[in-house]
């Protein structure tokens, strides 16, 4: 009986104390330039959008889509070769298994891994998104 009580207490305490996402931050294009020598922030907006998705995290498939969107965005500003280089870099360096500040799901405590966002987590993200929009 005592074991059942301990198990129930542990289960309830784990589910009630859901993790909170950290406030959104972006370091631009992380360990890559934000633009060219002439246009220093040419693809910075692409990286900021990419960071927003990486901050949230999610599934492997979601990460693949976001990485391809980054590549397309950089290509759209006229830099298709840079876009291919960046795609290779984020596919290798953005793994959630590395304890970096720019990993997939960096808004959550490490290790996050690939994981579908719960409804409670999506609500946290929406509240932060609304706060960001109010500040603009």
Angle at 128 between CA 125 and CA 50, to 5 degrees: 65
What are the domain boundaries of the chain? 27-135
Residues 62-73 have pLDDT tens digits of 999 999 999 999
Considering the entire predicted model, what is its pTM?
0.83
| Span 116-134, average pLDDT | 89
What angle, rounded to 10 degrees, do the helices at 44-56 and 60-76 form? 170
Identify the burial level of 90 via C-beta atoms within 10 angstroms of its C-beta, where 0-12 means exposed, 13-18 middle and 19 or more buried.
buried
Residue 75 structure tokens? 């290509």
Predicted confidence at residue 136, as pLDDT, reads: 62
Three-state secondary structure of 86-117: HHHHHHHHCCCCCCCCCCCCCCCCCCCCCCCC
With 50 as the cut, is the pLDDT of residue 28 above it? yes
Q: CA distances (Å), 7 to each of 1, 2, 4, 49, in order?
A: 10, 9, 5, 42
Contact (CB, 8 A) for 96 and 112: yes
Average pLDDT over residues 123-128: 93
What pLDDT is recorded for position 124?
95
pLDDT tens column, 1-20: 555 444 444 444 444 456 89
* pLDDT value at residue 13: 42
For the chain, how many residues are written? 136
Per-residue pLDDT at 8: 45
Beta strands in the chain (DSSP E): none
Taking only the tens place, the pLDDT of each residue in 72-121 is 999 999 999 999 999 999 999 999 999 999 999 999 999 999 999 999 99
Supply the DSSP symbol for 37: S
Is the bond leading into 111 cis (omega within 30 degrees of zero)?
A: yes
Q: Cβ of 29: how many Cβ atoms within 10 Å?
A: 23
């Amino acid at each position: 009986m005592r074991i059942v009580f301990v198990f129930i207490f542990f289960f309830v305490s784990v589910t009630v104390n859901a993790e909170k996402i950290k406030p959104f931050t972006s370091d631009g294009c992380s360990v890559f330039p934000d633009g060219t020598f002439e246009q220093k922030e040419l693809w910075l907006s692409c990286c900021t959008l990419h960071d927003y998705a990486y901050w949230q995290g999610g599934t492997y498939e979601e990460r693949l889509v976001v990485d391809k969107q980054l590549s397309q965005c950089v290509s759209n500003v006229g830099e298709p070769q840079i876009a291919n280089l960046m795609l290779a870099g984020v596919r290798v360096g953005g793994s959630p298994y590395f304890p970096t500040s720019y990993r997939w799901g960096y808004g959550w405590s490490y290790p996050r891994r690939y994981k579908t966002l719960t409804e409670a987590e999506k609500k946290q993200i929406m509240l932060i998104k609304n706060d960001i929009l109010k500040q603009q």
